């Protein structure tokens, strides 16, 4: 069974890279370029894991993560945040996120990070 | 308009000064004694009233106009919350003495201008006016009070200039830090993308020719370096802003060094890395940051020594600390470089062209070591090699 992942990432290239690589690795990827695009699907549909960028054009991943963790129906689902910005790193460690990926990331490690988050 | 003299009006002593100086200017211009006295009295009367209001007044005496019509002008500026009027005693008296008296107010700033027309018979011109100015610039103080006053104002001026200079330097420094911080963040996104594309290409090895695969490997190597540089830049800006963060934990030192070295052996396969472990003991450190220290020192050792030379790591347990040495048989450095090598952005002149680098590594390394409560220093001889020593205290008082 393919693992369903919701990715929120506004950068077109990073979105393309994550989508194509994770699909290739057997994930079922839904990619959203903004919080509003994400909200058109969430919470009526839920994945098995979320991968959220911190800085988004119409919001931020940390707030989104907290929203997911405060929703009883989604709270158990793992959330992985990613960012290149150092203050975000500190904020993320204090957030309810299950894991954090620092950019620039090692692409090959991302599937493992997502799977680990699910099994935790 | 040429300024001849300037006197700040602070206390009674300045009234004497204002009177004497006004007298002297009028005298030097060749005015009659009656006019000299009239002018000087008017000036000192106004000054007296101004001092009643504030001790921060300013008197300037100018020669105004152009050939053939010049006038002797006294300007007094002062600031007062109170409302001075033309009928204040000194002002009233001055108006009776000089032909022209103007007074204006803007908010709490007050300006008084008095003028006496100068007769053509004086045959004044700009050259004479300049000479007059020079005369007063060069003339010594009238009394001890004026001497002290001059020295004081000079000191004030110098202090003021220094303060401005320090402030400007601070601003430039802040701007520079902000720029480094923003720049290192901004380049991270494109680095992330290029690195990921290079990794995707590498996963497609089987579809590519050997030549293409070699290029892909090189591309990967360079993007890793680029990422490393961006992280260093970010560390520099964190050091500057005082927010290099640490996660201290208790670590067995030999186990830790052994782990780091096993990775570094693969990173620097060209050199033999030899490790002489001292007694095992637990220390308090931030693993990632201390790994950065070892990586930097061993990386430098490899960078500045010939291929296949040995890089020796020693650790010794001393009374209060662990002392670690990274020894290379590389090109070494001069005494001047030994002293300056840990400075931010410092690059040794002899290697600036031959070995690339931004001079950030040892600066960050030294910060990490000192933030752990340790010390870092280097012994080196040109042509023979370098030994970088650093210590980690056993009882850690390091900041977290």
pLDDT (tens digit per residue) in B206-223: 888 889 888 888 888 888
- Residue B398: pLDDT band by 50, 70, 90 thresholds? very low
Residue B30 to residue B21: CA distance in whole angstroms: 14
Is A117 domain-assigned?
Answer: no
Q: Count interface pairs A-B at CB distance under 8 A.
A: 48
pLDDT of chain A, 120 residues: tens digit per residue? 789 999 999 999 999 999 999 999 999 999 999 999 999 998 899 999 999 998 888 888 999 999 999 999 999 999 999 987 766 666 667 788 888 888 888 888 999 999 999 987
Question: Where a domain ends, among B187, B216, B241?
Answer: B241
- Compute CA distances B281 → B13, B250, B318, B392, whole Å: 75, 10, 11, 11
Residue B147 belongs to some domain of the structure: no
Q: Residue B238 and residue A86: Cβ atoms within 8 Å?
A: yes
Let me know if residue B88 belongs to a domain. Answer: yes
CB atoms within 10 A of CB B331: 20
Cα–Cα dist B398/B400, whole Å: 6
For residue B155, being part of any structural domain is answered with no
Is the residue at B151 inside a domain? no
How far does the CA of residue B236 sit from the closest CA of chain A (Å)?
13
* Distance from chain centroid for Cα B230: 25
Cis amide bond preceding B68, omega within 30: yes
User: What per-residue confidence (pLDDT) applies to B116?
Assistant: 92
Question: Domains in chain B: how many in total?
Answer: 3
Structure tokens at B129: 């006016």
Two tokens at B143? 């009394």
Residues 6+ positions from B138 with CB-CB distance below 8 Å: none
Confidence of residue B397 (pLDDT cuts 50, 70, 90): very low
Can you give the residue range of the structural domain that contains A92?
Answer: 3-49+57-112
B86-124 residue pLDDT tens: 889 899 999 999 999 999 998 889 999 999 999 988 888
Contact A14 B196 (CB under 8 A): yes
Instruction: Indicate whether B254 and B376 sit together in one domain.
Output: yes
B320: exposed, middle or buried (C-beta count within 10 Å: 0-12, 13-18, 19+)? exposed
Residues B39 and B95 in one domain: yes
pLDDT digits (tens, 9 = 90+) for B158-170: 888 888 888 988 8
Residues in chain A: 120
Chain B: residue whose CA lies nearest to A88 = B185
* Residue ranges making up the domain that contains B62: 2-139
Cα B262 to Cα A2: distance, rounded to the nearest angstrom: 36
**Residues in chain B within 8 Å Cβ distance of A84:** 185, 188-189, 192
* B235 located within any domain: yes
Q: Is the pLDDT of residue B351 over 90?
A: no
Domain-located, residue A120: no
Which of B177, B181, B196, B204 is best to mutate for the A interface (most A CBs within 10 A)? B196
- Establish if A119 belongs to a structural domain: no
What pLDDT score does B103 carry? 93
Tell me if A73 is assigned to some domain: yes
Q: What is the DSSP string of B283-333?
A: EEE-HHHHHHHHHHHHHHHHHTS-TT-EEEEEEEE-SSEEEEEEEE-S---
What pLDDT is recorded for position A86? Answer: 61
CB within 8 Å: B199 and A108: yes
Give the domain CATH number at A30: 3.40.50.2300
pLDDT for position B136? 87
The residue count of chain B comes to: 400
Q: Which of B223, B241, B259 is the last residue of a domain?
A: B241
In a domain, B301, yes or no: yes
Give how far B7 is from chain A: nearest CA, Å.
Answer: 55
Phi-psi region of A31 (alpha: psi -120 to 50; beta: other; left: phi over 0): beta
Q: Residue A109 carries which DSSP code?
A: G
pLDDT at residue B184 above 90? Answer: no
Q: What is the DSSP letter of B187?
A: T
Same domain, B175 and B61: no
Question: Tell me: the pLDDT tens digits for B253-277?
Answer: 999 999 999 988 888 888 999 999 9
pLDDT of residue B400: 40
Within a domain: residue B160?
no
| Confidence (pLDDT) at B140 | 76
Whether the pLDDT of residue B392 is over 90: the answer is yes
Helix orientation angle between B188-203 and A12-24, rounded to the nearest 10 degrees: 30
> Is B399's pLDDT higher than 90?
no
Domain assignment of residue A87, yes or no: yes
Per-residue pLDDT, B266: 84
Question: How far is it, in rounded angstroms, from Cα A41 to Cα A32?
Answer: 9
Between the alpha carbon of residue A88 and those of residues A9, A92, B152, B237, B247, the distances in Å are 15, 6, 53, 16, 17
Give me the number of domains chain A comprises: 1
Residue A80 falls inside a structural domain: yes
Measured between CA atoms, how close is A75 to chain B, in angstroms? Answer: 28
Q: Give the one of B189, B200, B234 whose C-beta lies nearest to A107's C-beta.
A: B200
User: What distance in Å separates the CA atoms of residue A10 and residue A31, rounded to the nearest whole number?
Assistant: 9
Contact (Cβ atoms closer than 8 angstroms) between residue A84 and residue B188: yes
Task: Please state whether A59 falls in left (phi above 0), alpha (psi between -120 and 50) or beta.
Answer: left
Q: Are residues B274 and B385 in the same domain?
A: yes
Of the three residues B182, B209, B241, the one that is the final residue of a domain is B241
Provide the chain A residues 44-103 that lie in CB contact (below 8 A) with chain B: 84-86, 90, 103
- The yes-or-no verdict on residue B317 having pLDDT over 80 is yes
- Establish if A105 touches chain B: CB-CB under 8 angstroms: yes
Q: Please check whether residue B149 lies inside any domain of the structure.
A: no
Tokens of B399: 């900041």
| pLDDT tens column, B124-153 | 888 889 998 988 888 877 788 888 888 888
Q: Residue B367: CB partners within 8 Å, gap ≥ 6? A: B239, B244
Q: Which residue has the tokens 């096993």?
A: B262
Structure-token match 């500057």, residue found: B240
A104 → closest Cβ in B195, B203, B245 = B195
* Inter-residue contact B250 to B283 (CB < 8 Å): yes
Asked if the Cβ–Cβ distance from B188 to A104 is below 8 Å, we say: yes
pLDDT band at B59 (very low <50, low <70, confident <90, very high): very high
Q: Which residue of A has its CA nearest to B185?
A: A85
A118 inside domain = no
Nearest residue, CB atoms, B192 vs list A24, A86, A105: A105
CATH number of the domain residue B8 falls in: 3.30.565.10
Looking at residue B188, which CATH number applies to its domain?
A: 1.10.287.130
Distance CA A33, CA B129 (A): 75
Average pLDDT, chain B: 88
């Amino acid at each position: 069974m393919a693992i369903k992942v919701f990715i929120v990432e506004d950068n077109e290239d990073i979105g393309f890279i994550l989508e194509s690589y994770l699909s290739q690795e057997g994930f079922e990827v839904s990619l959203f370029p903004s919080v509003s695009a994400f909200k058109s699907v969430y919470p009526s549909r839920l994945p098995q894991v979320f991968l959220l960028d911190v800085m988004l054009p119409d919001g931020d991943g940390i707030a989104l993560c907290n929203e997911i963790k405060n929703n009883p129906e989604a709270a158990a689902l793992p959330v992985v945040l990613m960012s290149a910005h150092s203050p975000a790193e500190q904020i993320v460690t204090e957030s309810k996120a299950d894991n954090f990926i620092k950019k620039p990331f090692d692409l090959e490690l991302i599937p493992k990070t997502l799977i680990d988050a699910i099994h935790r | 308009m040429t300024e001849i003299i300037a006197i700040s009006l602070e206390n009674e002593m300045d009234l004497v000064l204002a009177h004497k100086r006004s007298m002297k200017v009028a005298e030097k211009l060749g005015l009659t004694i009656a006019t000299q006295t009239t002018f000087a009295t008017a000036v000192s009367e106004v000054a007296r009233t101004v001092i009643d209001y504030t001790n921060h007044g300013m008197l300037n005496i100018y020669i105004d106009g152009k050939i053939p019509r010049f006038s002797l002008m006294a300007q007094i500026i002062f600031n007062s919350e109170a409302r001075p009027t033309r009928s204040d005693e000194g002002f009233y008296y001055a108006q009776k003495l000089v032909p022209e008296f103007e007074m204006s107010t803007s908010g709490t700033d007050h300006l008084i201008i008095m003028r006496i027309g100068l007769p053509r018979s004086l045959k004044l011109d700009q050259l004479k006016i300049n000479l007059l100015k020079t005369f007063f610039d060069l003339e010594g103080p009238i009394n001890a009070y004026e001497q002290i006053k001059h020295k004081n104002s000079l000191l004030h001026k110098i202090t003021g200039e220094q303060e401005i200079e320090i402030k400007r330097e601070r601003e430039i420094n802040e701007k520079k830090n902000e720029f480094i911080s923003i720049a290192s963040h901004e380049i991270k996104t494109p680095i992330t993308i290029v690195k990921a594309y290079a990794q995707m290409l590498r996963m497609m090895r089987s579809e590519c020719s050997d030549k293409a695969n070699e290029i892909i490997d090189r591309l990967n190597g360079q993007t890793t370096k680029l990422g490393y540089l961006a992280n260093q830049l970010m560390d520099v800006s964190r050091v500057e802003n005082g927010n290099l963060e640490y996660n201290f934990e208790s670590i067995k030192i030999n186990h830790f060094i052994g782990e780091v070295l096993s990775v570094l052996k693969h990173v620097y396969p060209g050199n033999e890395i030899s490790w002489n472990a001292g007694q095992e003991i637990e220390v308090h450190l931030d693993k990632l940051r201390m790994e950065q220290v070892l990586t930097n020192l061993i990386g430098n050792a490899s960078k500045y020594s010939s291929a296949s030379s040995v890089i020796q790591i020693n650790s010794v347990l001393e009374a209060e600390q662990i002392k670690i040495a990274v020894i290379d048989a590389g090109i070494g450095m001069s005494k001047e470089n030994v002293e300056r090598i840990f400075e931010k952005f410092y690059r040794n002149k002899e290697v600036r062209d031959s070995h690339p680098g931004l001079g950030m590594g040892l600066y960050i390394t030294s910060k990490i070591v000192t933030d752990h409560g340790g010390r870092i220093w280097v012994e080196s001889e040109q042509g023979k090699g370098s030994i970088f020593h650093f210590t980690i205290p056993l009882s850690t008082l390091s900041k977290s």
